[in-house]
Amino acid sequence: MANPALGAAGLGASIFGSLLGTAGAQQSGQAQAGMYGYQAGVAALNSQIEQQNANYASQEGELQAAKYGIGARQQAGHIVAAQASSGLDVGSGSAKQVQESQHTVSTLDQNTIRMNAAKTAYNYETQAVQYGAQAKMDLLAKQNVEAATPLNVASSLVGGAGSVASKWLQGSQMGLWSGAGNAISSAFGS
């Protein structure tokens, strides 16, 4: 003969498990949403930092190019002064070619400084865009988790209710619930 106390304990355990599963689904959803919100905030902050680094790299490159340009102009002045003190005609011939060569090399060096700074800034900007995209993806994931949490809770409740109903029906078929079980069984057509 079936033991009604064991049947009731099994039924109670199913109900309690269902409620715990429902609470767990709710807590899990909230935790995941919080995690994605945090990750989105970190990614957005990293994006801002990378953009600031890009701006700094551009400014630093321009300052270095300007500083180099001052030194190059000073060097050009020394070249002209040395040529003039040697008695050369500084406006023609090889003296003029030396001055033009020095100017060409200085211009190339300045352009290289600017190009290197632009490449560094571009790398920072690219990283900023990637962080910005990650922040958007994390926010989308957060929204998806928030939208799915009520469904997960409902699914847990429905699953638990199905389990409880199944246990009740099994107990009823075994005669655990005597009068009450038979009334419910007959309502379900058993």
- Condensed to tens digits (0 to 9), the pLDDT of residues 18-34 reads 787 888 888 888 888 99
The residue ranges of every structural domain in the chain are 4-187
Backbone φ/ψ region at 9: left (φ over 0), alpha (ψ -120 to 50), beta: alpha
- Condensed to tens digits (0 to 9), the pLDDT of residues 101-159 reads 999 999 999 999 999 999 999 999 999 999 999 999 999 999 988 888 888 888 887 78
User: Is there a contact between 29 and 145 (Cβ–Cβ < 8 Å)?
Assistant: yes
DSSP structural state of residue 177:
S
Element (H, E) at 157: helix 93-173
- Condensed to tens digits (0 to 9), the pLDDT of residues 164-188 reads 778 777 777 777 766 554 444 455 4
- Condensed to tens digits (0 to 9), the pLDDT of residues 39-55 reads 999 999 999 999 999 99
| DSSP string computed for 6-57 | HHHHHHHHHHHHHHHHHHHHHHHHHHHHHHHHHHHHHHHHHHHHHHHHHHHH
**Helix 4-85 × helix 93-173 angle, to 10°:** 180
